[in-house]
Amino acid sequence: MSTETAILLTGGTGFFGKALLRQLLSTGKANDYRIYVLSRQPEKFQLEYPILAAVERISFLKGDILDRASLPWTSSFSHVLHAATDSTHGPSLPPLQRFNCIVQGTSNVLDLAVATGASRFLLTSSGGVYGQQPGDLAAIPEDWHGAPLLSDPVTAYSQAKRAAEHLCALYRDAYGLHTVIARCFAFAGPDLPLNVHYAIGNFIRDALTAEAITVFGDGTPLRTYLDQDDLAHWLWTLLLEGIDGETYNVGSDQVVSIAELAHLVRRLLAPTKPVRIVGTPQPVGGRNRYVPNIQKIIAMHGLNVTVSLDQSILSTAKAHDGVGTSD
C-alpha cells in the first residue's frame, strides 16, 4: 500500500491557498507531498499564477464544494485542508446564503474526506466564533466560551464557522476522522487583496494610490496581523502534526490599534501623505478588540511569529507594484 501523503486543498486559489502553495515553494517542500487543489476555475488560476501551476506535484481539480457531483469522489487522499473560507467576498452575500454556503460546503468536504479515505482533516475556522471580545480580556484563549449573538443576522459568518467546527466534532465521533481546528484571525502578505474589506489592505492601497490614508472608523479598534508566510507554516504544521480534536488560535500576538496601523503604513510607504480619521470617537470602555492568545500553539508545536508587521506591510506593498515612499 502506498504511504504517499496526498493532500486535498480546498480554497487553494484564494488568499489562504496561495499562501500555502507559495510557502511550499519557498521552503523547498513542494515535492514532499502530492497536492490536489480544488478550484471552480483551475484554468484561470494556472494562467494567472504560472509559477504555482508549473510545480510537478501540484495538480488542479475542477470542482465546487457546493456542487457534490463535481467533487472527486473516486480519488484517494490522506489529508484534507479545508481552506475555502468565504472571508474575502462573503460579506457581499445575504446572511442566510452566506451561512448555508459555509455549512453545506464544510459538510460536503467532510463527506468527501471520509469517502476518499482521508485520515486527517484541518478546518480553517475564524476568531469570530468567540463573538465580541470583552474589554478586560487582553487576548482570547481557545477555552474561552464567548459566542456571537444568535439573534443578529450580521453574525451569520461566525455562526456558520461555529456550526462547521461542530460538524468536525460530529464526523470525528461518527467516522474516527482525525480533525483539527485552526481559528484564524487577521493577516497580511503579498497575496492579500487591497480592495476588499481588510483595513490593512485598504491602508496599503491608499498609501500607493490615493491622496491620503483614510480610516473610516475612529481608529481605536485593536487588531493583530500575522504574515501569510507564518500563517501557511502554521497551517501546514497543524494539518500534519496538530493533535486530533484540538482547536488552535492562528494569528499574531503583536497588538496595534487601527489608527496606529494607518500611521505605520504611512511611515513605511508614504511619509508625505496625511492620515485622515473620519469616524466619530467612541468611548474607551467600548473599545473593540480582536486579539488571540497564541500560547497554546507556541507551547504545543513550537510555532512563533517570525515575520514582523513592518516586513509584512513592505512585502504586501511590493507585490502590488509599490514599495518605499510615494507622493
At 197 the pLDDT is: 86
**Domain annotation covers residue 211:** yes
Could you tell me if 149 and 216 lie in one domain? no
pTM for this predicted structure: 0.94
Could you tell me if 112 and 212 lie in one domain? no
At 89 the pLDDT is: 62
Among 141-150, 274-283, 299-308, the range scoring the smallest mean pLDDT is 274-283
CATH number of the domain at 164, please.
Answer: 3.40.50.720
Could you tell me if 42 and 180 lie in one domain? yes
Average pLDDT over residues 310-319: 97
| Grid cell locating 4 | 504517499
At 88 the pLDDT is: 56
CA distances for 53 relative to 82, 126, 202, angstroms: 20, 28, 29
How confident is the prediction for the chain on average, in pLDDT? 93
Could you tell me if 45 and 175 lie in one domain? yes
All residues at 6 or more sequence positions from 196 whose CB lies less than 8 Å from its CB, including other chains: 88, 89
**Domain annotation covers residue 324:** no
Average pLDDT over residues 142-148: 96
Average pLDDT over residues 147-171: 97
At 14 the pLDDT is: 92
Tally of domains within the chain: 2
User: Do residues 309 and 188 lie in contact, with contact meaning Cβ atoms separated by under 8 Å?
Assistant: yes
Could you tell me if 108 and 182 lie in one domain? yes
**Domain annotation covers residue 298:** no
Q: Which domain holds residue 203?
A: 189-224+254-291+306-319
At 54 the pLDDT is: 87
Q: Is the pLDDT of residue 323 over 70?
A: no
